[in-house]
Structure 1
Amino acid sequence: MKQKTIKNALLSLCLLFSGLLFAQKSVNGTVTDADGVPLPGATIVVIETNEGVSTDFDGNYSISAAEGTTIEISFVGYESQQVVVGADAVYNVSLVEGNALDEIVVTALGIKKAEKTLTYSSQTVSSENLTQARDMSFANSLNGRAAGVEIRKSSSGAGGSTRIVLRGNKSLSGDSQPLIVIDGIPMVNNRGNQPGVWGGIDEGDGLSQINPDDIENITLLKGANASVLYGSQGANGVIMITTKSGEDGDAKVTVNSGVTFESIISIPDLQYNYGAVGADKNSWSTTPGNYESGYAEDFFQTGVNYINSVSVSGGNSKTKAYFSYYNTTTDGVMPTFKYQKNNVSFKQSTKLLNDKMTITSNIILTDEKTHNRTPSGYYLNPLVALYTFPRQMDFNDFMTNYQSLNANNVMEQNIYANYHFLSNPNWVLNKQPKDDRIKRAISSLNINYQLSEKLSFQARASYDYSNKTYEQQHAATSNPTNTGENGRWDYKRLNDELFYADGILNYTDNLTDDISLTLIAGASIQHQQYGVGVSVSSGNDGKLFYANEFNFQNLPTNVQVNSALSSRVEKQALFGNAVIGFKDYLFLDIAGRNDYASTLALTGNESYFYPSYGVSAIISQMVTLPQAISFFKVRASAASVGNEVPFNRINPQNTVTAAGAVNRNTQKPFTDLKPELIETTEFGIDLRFLNNKIGVDLALYNIKSTDQFLSLSAPSGSGYTTYFVNAGEIVNKGIEMSLTGRIIEKQNLSWTSTFNFTKNTNEVVSIHPDISGLGTGGGDAVQSRFVAGGSIGDMYIRMHKRDTQGRILLDDNGTPLSTDHELAGNAEPDFSIGWANNFTIGDRLTAGFIINGKFGGEVYSHTETMLNGFGVSARSGAARDAGSVSVNAATESSGAAVSSADPVKWYTALGDRNGIGEPYIYDRTNIRLTQLSIGYNLDTSSLGIPIEGANISLIGNNLLYSAEAPFDPEVAMSTSRSNQGIDNFNLPSTRTIGVNLRLTF
């Protein structure tokens, strides 16, 4: 009831203040350098209210500021300027290059700070860069634009989840993904179910539901030093999203409309010359037949993505508002895949009480619908039968006649072999459809009151609610391995919700002419509840009463309707921060937070404190340096923070199904649980050369994670199957470098470039005295394991058994022998690079591109294994053409050398998914053209219609790449921690090419 009242109050405020929109006017202008070149991304802040905006690509800005207030304009590498607002409405500013770093950045809790005071590394990506090429997942647009960020997308297509890790994996059992924050307030970013080796779909995440056109900028707080004020939630870093606000002046309308066409880049190399023998499912004939080819490529269609949005912005010195509508509609490259997302947002702010009070409200509504998300893995995946179809058969007839009426008057699947993970692709797509829908509402209210010239108070509250429905219907006669005789029904309906509120006091003062002080003190409360609802799966044993009737009334009595377990957690906190400055070149930053977590209740550890300390010194203002050095800053910081404590560890409860059955808990209570501890140290420098034309930001860090949550098998007779301990230590060490350059700066030509370099080394120092290692996922030939002395991401596979000369050993039948699972590589790269570039040519033409590279690391392909086993891989066909496989081998019993092997015997042995995995480990190294855009600003004055601006752009994403692996090594089977670097009949990597039109009225 309380939460509904908050939502109703927020909506009422939005309606109350939106009526003031049409009486608004603006303070606006253009920010340029001394030569008149526009400065995009410059920051404009009203000092009295701390409200700010950024200039657009042409250096234009618009902000509300009452007469008599002061606006400050800053840009990295330039001296900031202050302008007192008078009667004029236009203030054009020309900045000169300087030695001070006065750029304003958004930090933890949404607090704005001067960049020169920061004692840690952070990077900001503007909205122009995020939406430059209109990627279907805006998180992918961070690739290459920031150092220290590892991003991998799933192979599920539009609406799929993205795995983001800042500065390495830090937990053996928890999630190493960062906290997502919108306008200073945490949001829910729960990831749905993920596919595994045997199958499944990626159910998306919260981040994919955001409208990228609403984002003003994204700031990455990469270490616990930067995010300590968010407590244990921020232990893995924070992604700060600042949304757009209303601009001063008459209503401004922006229409953004684009279409991109999506196509697969490549599929596995296949052979079409050899079919099956008789009714066999495998194509192991040795007689060439030159059968139908090309149908595997033809199965995929050209996908179409429509991205359309409209926003309205306006305001005056008292009130401003922003409204937007965003629609994405996708027909994917996989037939029948459809995705649609609708976003509506409304944000307003109003000043009251002689501008001392500012009230800001925001509401974001999302409706996301998906049909037939693309799976990975063996089961219910149309790509398995597509790739392995016996070559001598007619594939088009098989697809067209995928069903027929049987004697029971039920449509029956047409499948060529009764094999446990083979299904007709058209049957899976049409008779086993998957549908999900997510409805979400995020509302927030922010009240800021200026108590005095030096003291202000801010109170905020937000409510994040989502309703998720997932359903898959399996028609009768589907593959009996996972479907009952009359079909199968999988259904779940879940609710997630998060309520957050905080209050923050902010005090700023100059104690003397040389000493400045900023103090922050606050408290917060957060209540979250995840996974409330019901779920049901009739399975392959629960026979539905009537064929193809999918509802609760048709479930047999042996099928339980489960009440989904609710993860109800509350966290309270007190926090504070002090920044002391000396002569504007030496800064000390001290912060601390004390959390009170319900997940630690009854342990005596429910209250835990963690601090951070940092110092920054601007050397270039302390001593005289060579003229070539424009700016030199050093920084150092250290922090300790606890990582999130899992739900239901201390006193796990029995669960009750909707039918009244009790599922007994088998986990021993963990009564002395304590949070994981993450200790971080960071050192960095910021150097500017040649009048700030070249900049180098370098960071070195060391992160130690201890007291991991580990699950062990309980002793027999204890009455439990598992118990937990705090143990284990992980260390991440790394270096990050960001090199920026204003390479060309002329009136009619500019070129800016950013080069990012990241190297992270991860080590599992220890686990637990009683265990040598932990298995965490993978399956069959490849396994992910944590072993002391190893690294998170290590892959263990069965290798060829070899003699002392390195020769592959065979048994007496000529079959290659294998070892037990051995370390074969690690899924994480040795180092990564990103190179982002932007150009302006004259007044009309703009261009940009990003090149990304990953170097080192390994990936594994289950797909290649199975293609060999089925006899459909190109290499198996080439071996039959040659009559044998050339090998360097020996018979184990006799030691006799063997130089050739029978293709059928060799590849069926290597094609066992539980067999030797060594041939299917590939180097992850790849380099790619990630984004390309070419834009043209149209001359609207000649059109005779009231358009302020018009831009048309050609855009492309993931246009081409070079890699050793026969699949895209940057596309993961899933975004879960344990299945990184694994290909298992993943959707092939795709490229998008299209056009976008942006109109401003």
Structure 2
Amino acid sequence: MRKIFLIVMIIFTTQVTLAQVKKINGFVSDATGTPIPGANVNVKGEANGASTDFDGKFTIEVKPGATLVISYLGYETRNVVVGESSTIDVKLNSAASTALTEVVVTSLGIKKSKKSLTYSAQELKGEDLVRAKDPNLMNTIAGKIAGVAVTKSAGGTGGSTKVTIRGNSSTTNNNPLYVVDGVPMLNISSIQPNDSFGSTQGGNRDGGDVIGLLNPDDYEGMTVLKGASATALYGSQGARGVILLTSKKAKEGVSSFRASSNTTVETAAYLPKFQTSYIAKPGADESWGAAQSTPDHTRDFFDTGVTQISSFGFSTGSQNSATNISYANTSSNGVLPTNSLSKNNFSIRQMGKFFGDRLTVNANANYTSQYVTNRPTSGLYFNPLTGLYLMPRGYDFNEYKNNFEKFDPARNLMAQNWMTDRDIEQNPYWGLNRNKSKDGSQYMNGAVGLNYKVNNWLSIGSRYNYDRITSEFDKEIYATTQGTLSHPNGRYININDVSTQNYGDLIATINTKITDDLTFFANVGTSFTKTSLNDETVLDSDPSGLGITNWFTLHNFNSNTGNYQNYGYRREQQSVFAAATFGYKNMLYVDITGRNDWSSTLANTGNMSFFYPSVGATWLISESFTMPESITFAKVRASYAQVGNDVPAFYTSPTSAYSAANPQNINPTVGPRPGTNLKPESQDSYELGTEWRFVNNRFGIELTYYNK
């Protein structure tokens, strides 16, 4: 009986002891509620411990009454006693140095502590994107990011924006890669100005870009990755730099509605200076006549542009779900008469958590519709400024403004009224009203992502994204337009472009401690990008013209020689990549990355594959030595990277060119023979940098030297 009683007591005591151990789910954030990834959670007096994931969450098994010691570099350590509750929310107050606690979004949408970065990355908060709104959000960052040149289009409202990061770095393409929530987005234009005379096919217009169709109010911040080391995981797509946008997310337990309205008034900043001391001889079209003072008629041509942007958003969040919905409307009149824009943005984003927060599902959809009337054109043809500037002094410009057309009894129609028949110029108001163009763009984006937390140190995620943009250009050119540009009966042009991009990836993330002093963070993944750009359908009544004057319809075309369909650009890229970061005592960090791409545009070259590595190191001086009280933070870093780049589509494959003038003759244009040793473009770069902050972060300086 004594032995039986002893066995029963042992079993009972074991059960009681096991019952006392409970599973705690916790969340660690800063004073504003922002999650703190990588925070240490240790049981006081024991070896048991854990660390928070990228959402600031942790799981640990402890006994009731035990004390959890929660710490993170740059924050005040907190002790929390475990009670009856199975959940713990902890807010850490920031210590003096915010430089040690800043978290930024990096490649693939992964959040990292800024102090650990081995390369240059600069961040803008959401308020910097909306403080002075523009129809193209990239125009709002001009002058705010070191090493980034932002040039607003001269094409007026709705025009694209040229962005270069650290100058030109490629022989083929120097546009940065735009990434939304870790996923590369399709950013193209249906057409860009490229001719000094101006295309006769509707004009030398700026077709705009996709980044200009986004709603700035949908994003909580932007990070610019400048060097090859920073963008190595994006491969050739990110060789010219990467601009990351992070969508706004609903906060747990908070429902909010926001509304904003922004009005911008603009005028033409600079105008050419013209002589007003000589006039034209009677009947002449150049000012080589007598000396006579005349007014400058160009000054009153331009309007005052007004842009109105109104935005509305609703968000709500709970422990297991979050919803964001937004709508924005942009209405704009440009400085060029009759130039106007109307844009509507719709967006919805949904997040849900399942299986005890192990599985996170994200889905979002965006739709943008934009219409632009009379996009300004450059060059000579179809450009109203040509006639405005070249009209000789001595003529009454108001006469041509108020009577840009007059009745022609010989043709029984309203004809253009202008003082010359030179092929490069027309009455500006005839061009604006009787050569009117309409541009329409519809952008659709849908994405879904899954992330499964296998355990405290491993998570696996996958994402799929689909982008589609359709563009339509419609131009009605009335009879008596200059003969170089139109048939005597008029001309009708309609061009439709379709571009799509499919992107998918699968990424495993590892975040663990090897020892108490050595941390390890890694990503291993694969991705594919399949792009189809500017599949085009062109309907053009030129050169045969219209059968019935000024009847703008396909049925009225005299022939189909100006109608055709055209493939634009085809490209598929498949990739594998890996990145690892080692941290030692929160003062020394080493980054190593590698990526291999296979590109379809290198077909027939004998080698469709190219590999590129990067390596970098960061040393936090202020964490290694006791610094003077005036120095809050000190850091030095160095990195090296090599990035490959493929060639444009069809350079290595046979293609065929179609000539409308000779439709029976198909001319094959053959690329390099199979096996030709055409190598990918390669870019090598290294950079050195240092960052110092003084007097409790009241003053700071960051310097970077790079060579590529």
Name the CA distance, whole Å, in 2 between partners of 1:73 and 1:320.
28
> Alpha carbons of 1:408 and 1:142: their partners in 2 closer, same or farther (altered >3 Å)?
same
Corresponding position: 1:243 with 2:233: no
Q: Which residue of 1 aligns with 2:111?
A: 112
Q: Which residue of 2 aligns with 1:629?
A: 631
Secondary structure of 1:399's counterpart equals helix
Q: Which residue of 2 aligns with 1:723?
A: none
Instruction: State the Cα deviation string for residues 679-698 of structure 1 (Å, max 9, x = none).
Output: 11111111122232221111
Q: Which residue of 2 aligns with 1:453?
A: 456
> Alpha carbons of 1:417 and 1:566: their partners in 2 closer, same or farther (altered >3 Å)?
closer
Contact 1:371 1:435 in 2 (8 A): yes
Name the CA distance, whole Å, in 1 between partners of 2:346 and 2:58.
27
Name the CA distance, whole Å, in 2 between partners of 1:626 and 1:700.
26
Corresponding position: 1:463 with 2:462: no
Q: Which residue of 2 aligns with 1:206?
A: 210
Contact 1:530 1:568 in 2 (8 A): yes
Q: Which residue of 1 aligns with 2:695?
A: 690
Q: How far did 1:538 drift?
A: 3.6
Could you state the TM-score of these two structures normalised by the residue count of structure 1?
0.62
Q: How far did 1:603 drift?
A: 1.6
Corresponding position: 1:420 with 2:419: no
Unmatched runs of 5 consecutive residues or more in structure 1: 1-26, 33-41, 53-63, 704-1001
Instruction: State the Cα deviation string for residues 582-614 of structure 1 (Å, max 9, x = none).
Output: 111111110001101111122222111111111
Q: Which residue of 2 aligns with 1:216?
A: 220
Contact 1:614 1:637 in 2 (8 A): yes
- The partner residue of 1:231 within 209, 231, 235 is 235
Q: How far did 1:90 drift?
A: 9.9
Corresponding position: 1:343 with 2:345: yes
Contact 1:43 1:104 in 2 (8 A): no
Secondary structure of 2:669's counterpart equals coil
Q: Which residue of 2 aligns with 1:307?
A: 309
Q: How far did 1:193 drift?
A: 1.8
Q: How far did 1:270 drift?
A: 2.6
Name the CA distance, whole Å, in 2 between partners of 1:204 and 1:90.
47
Contact 1:224 1:237 in 2 (8 A): yes
Could you state the TM-score of these two structures normalised by the residue count of structure 2?
0.86
Q: How far did 1:572 drift?
A: 0.7
Q: Which residue of 1 aligns with 2:196?
A: 197
Q: Which residue of 2 aligns with 1:96?
A: 95
Amino acid at match of 1:194: Q
Secondary structure of 2:245's counterpart equals strand
Aligned pairs for 1:764-913 (under 5 A) are none
Instruction: State the Cα deviation string for residues 406-445 of structure 1 (Å, max 9, x = none).
Output: 2122321111011111100110001101111111111111
> Alpha carbons of 1:68 and 1:216: their partners in 2 closer, same or farther (altered >3 Å)?
farther
Q: How far did 1:135 drift?
A: 2.7
> Alpha carbons of 1:682 and 1:113: their partners in 2 closer, same or farther (altered >3 Å)?
same
- The partner residue of 1:285 within 284, 289, 292 is 289
Corresponding position: 1:171 with 2:170: yes
Secondary structure of 2:411's counterpart equals coil
Name the CA distance, whole Å, in 1 between partners of 2:549 and 2:450.
57
Name the CA distance, whole Å, in 1 between partners of 2:373 and 2:624.
62
Amino acid at match of 1:480: G
Contact 1:465 1:495 in 2 (8 A): yes
> Alpha carbons of 1:104 and 1:554: their partners in 2 closer, same or farther (altered >3 Å)?
same
Q: Which residue of 1 aligns with 2:45?
A: none
Corresponding position: 1:444 with 2:447: yes
Contact 2:235 2:595 in 1 (8 A): yes
Aligned pairs for 1:168-567 (under 5 A) are 168-172=167-171, 174-195=172-193, 196-199=195-198, 200-288=204-292, 290-291=293-294, 293=295, 295-406=297-408, 407-539=410-542, 541-557=543-559, 559-567=561-569
Name the CA distance, whole Å, in 1 between partners of 2:415 and 2:494.
23
Instruction: State the Cα deviation string for residues 979-1001 of structure 1 (Å, max 9, x = none).
Output: xxxxxxxxxxxxxxxxxxxxxxx
Aligned pairs for 1:574-585 (under 5 A) are 574-585=576-587
Q: How far did 1:381 drift?
A: 1.2
Moved more, 638-647 or 625-634: 625-634
Contact 1:492 1:535 in 2 (8 A): yes
Amino acid at match of 2:94: L
- The partner residue of 2:615 within 592, 613, 616 is 613
Q: How far did 1:393 drift?
A: 1.8
Contact 1:404 1:414 in 2 (8 A): yes
**How many positions carry a matched residue from both structures?**
651
Corresponding position: 1:129 with 2:128: yes
Amino acid at match of 1:167: R
Instruction: State the Cα deviation string for residues 343-385 of structure 1 (Å, max 9, x = none).
Output: 1000011000011010011111010111100112222111122
> Alpha carbons of 1:357 and 1:660: their partners in 2 closer, same or farther (altered >3 Å)?
farther
Q: How far did 1:180 drift?
A: 0.7
Instruction: State the Cα deviation string for residues 553-582 of structure 1 (Å, max 9, x = none).
Output: 222336232211142211111000111111
Q: How far did 1:469 drift?
A: 0.7
Name the CA distance, whole Å, in 2 between partners of 1:699 and 1:311.
39
Instruction: State the Cα deviation string for residues 645-688 of structure 1 (Å, max 9, x = none).
Output: 21001113115689975542335436432211011111111112
Name the CA distance, whole Å, in 2 between partners of 1:332 and 1:661.
45
Q: Which residue of 2 aligns with 1:740?
A: none
Instruction: State the Cα deviation string for residues 813-838 of structure 1 (Å, max 9, x = none).
Output: xxxxxxxxxxxxxxxxxxxxxxxxxx
Name the CA distance, whole Å, in 2 between partners of 1:622 and 1:568.
52
Name the CA distance, whole Å, in 2 between partners of 1:286 and 1:419.
22
Unmatched runs of 5 consecutive residues or more in structure 2: 1-26, 39-51, 63-67, 199-203
Contact 2:118 2:618 in 1 (8 A): yes
Q: Which residue of 2 aligns with 1:699?
A: 704
> Alpha carbons of 1:380 and 1:100: their partners in 2 closer, same or farther (altered >3 Å)?
closer
> Alpha carbons of 1:72 and 1:175: their partners in 2 closer, same or farther (altered >3 Å)?
farther
> Alpha carbons of 1:342 and 1:153: their partners in 2 closer, same or farther (altered >3 Å)?
same
> Alpha carbons of 1:510 and 1:89: their partners in 2 closer, same or farther (altered >3 Å)?
closer
Amino acid at match of 1:632: A
Secondary structure of 2:134's counterpart equals coil
> Alpha carbons of 1:508 and 1:662: their partners in 2 closer, same or farther (altered >3 Å)?
farther
Amino acid at match of 2:315: S
> Alpha carbons of 1:135 and 1:197: their partners in 2 closer, same or farther (altered >3 Å)?
same
Q: CA RMSD in A?
A: 2.9
- Computing the radius of gyration from Cα coordinates, the structure with the larger value is 2
Amino acid at match of 2:276: Y
Instruction: State the Cα deviation string for residues 258-277 of structure 1 (Å, max 9, x = none).
Output: 22222223422233342211
- The partner residue of 2:35 within 21, 26, 44 is 44
> Alpha carbons of 1:459 and 1:599: their partners in 2 closer, same or farther (altered >3 Å)?
same
Instruction: State the Cα deviation string for residues 726-783 of structure 1 (Å, max 9, x = none).
Output: xxxxxxxxxxxxxxxxxxxxxxxxxxxxxxxxxxxxxxxxxxxxxxxxxxxxxxxxxx
Q: How far did 1:299 drift?
A: 1.7
Looking at both structures, which has the greater relative contact order when contacts are Cα pairs under 8 Å and sequence separation is at least 6? Answer: 1
Name the CA distance, whole Å, in 1 between partners of 2:61 and 2:568.
53
Percent sequence identity over aligned pairs: 36
Secondary structure of 1:139's counterpart equals helix
Q: How far did 1:192 drift?
A: 3.0
Contact 2:373 2:436 in 1 (8 A): yes
Aligned pairs for 1:598-677 (under 5 A) are 598-655=600-657, 661=664, 663-669=666-672, 671-677=676-682
Instruction: State the Cα deviation string for residues 260-315 of structure 1 (Å, max 9, x = none).
Output: 22222342223334221111111222332x33x25322222222211001000011
> Alpha carbons of 1:599 and 1:623: their partners in 2 closer, same or farther (altered >3 Å)?
same
Contact 1:517 1:580 in 2 (8 A): yes
